[in-house]
A and B are shown apart, each in its own frame.
Chain A
Amino acid sequence: GESVGLHLPTLSVQEGDNSIINCAYSNSASDYFIWYKQESGKGPQFIIDIRSNMDKRQGQRVTVLLNKTVKHLSLQIAATQPGDSAVYFCAAQLHGYNKLIFGAGTRLAVHP
């Protein structure tokens, strides 16, 4: 199976700083990874995804890095804004299995 964990339950940053949220997964057969953002009272929203044949993928103000050697991925948010305050989840999918396994989440708090 697969299990996914996050290094920190809470991350506090100053507005304008860069944020880095980390995630570890257990199964080297996982080949698809997604980062989700969840605001209070809402369902998770897609941020960015990456497949195992890539090491890095960039979106608007976000970058995901994948290190398959140590089974670790990270989400980097540039110039963090108050609207980025939320819980962030990483999720992993095993090759050949049509289901996403989620980590516990990291709460990002952005301070002015």
Chain B
Amino acid sequence: NAGVTQTPKFQVLKTGQSMTLQCAQDMNHNSMYWYRQDPGMGLRLIYYSASEGTTDKGEVPNGYNVSRLNKREFSLRLESAAPSQTSVYFCASSPEGGAEAFFGQGTRLTVV
């Protein structure tokens, strides 16, 4: 079973460039999430989607936009990348609130 799939796995961007991180889950989960993980820190929630058609800001939403394209897919867009957005990005999904979240393998993004 694929679970949560993220693409790409690695990416280098120049400051000011834009890109979209893709995430898809095949578990028919309602909720999806985007986190970022920086060295020495836990995972910080960027945006989440409780169900298809809804999105909400998390702890660190500035500089990002998201799209819940359908139940399976939840994308994260950086419109104008900054070095401060260098991080590892994780997508996750869960059946509903109050349930275990399953994580993808991460996207390592470097902005130079």
Nearest to B105 among chain A residues (CB) is A43
Q: Complex: how many Å from CA A97 to CA B97?
A: 7
A43-B90, A43-B104, A44-B90 known; A101-B59 Cβ under 8 A: yes
Could you tell me the distance between the alpha carbons of A31 and B98 in the complex, rounded to whole angstroms? 8
Which residues of chain A have C-beta atoms less than 8 A from B31's C-beta? 98
The answer to whether A98 touches B90, judged by C-beta atoms less than 8 angstroms apart, is no
Q: Is the CB of A34 within 8 A of B100?
A: yes
With CB as the reference atom, state the residue of chain A lying closest to B57.
A99
Contact across chains for A4 and B100 when beta carbons are under 8 A apart? no
For A34, A36, A44, A99, the residue with the greatest tally of chain B CB atoms inside 10 Å of its CB is: A99
What residues of B have a CB within 8 angstroms of the CB of A93 in the complex?
Answer: 97-98
Query: B96 in the interface, Cβ–Cβ < 8 Å?
Result: yes
Q: Select the stretch in B13-21, B39-47, B68-76, B78-86 that faces chain A.
A: B39-47
Query: How many A-B residue contacts, CB cutoff 8 Å?
Result: 62
- B97: chain A residues at CB < 8 Å are 32, 93, 96-99
Q: Which of B44, B97, B102, B106 has the most CB of A within 10 A?
A: B97
The answer to whether A100 touches B106 (Cβ under 8 A) is: no
Query: Which of A41, A89, A97 is within 8 Å of B42, CB to CB?
Result: A89
Q: Is the CB of A102 closer than 8 A to any CB of chain B?
A: yes
A42 to chain B, nearest CB (A): 6
Q: Which residues, 90 to 112 on B, are CB-close (under 8 Å) to A?
A: 90, 92, 94, 96-98, 100-106
Binding site for B on A (CB under 8 A): 4, 9, 31-32, 34, 36, 41-46, 49, 51, 89, 91, 93, 96-105
* Contacts from B to A (Cβ < 8 Å): 4, 31, 33, 35, 40-45, 48, 50, 56, 58-59, 90, 92, 94, 96-98, 100-106
Give 9 closest A-B pairs by Cβ, nearest first.
A98-B97, A43-B103, A102-B42, A102-B43, A98-B50, A104-B42, A32-B98, A46-B100, A44-B103
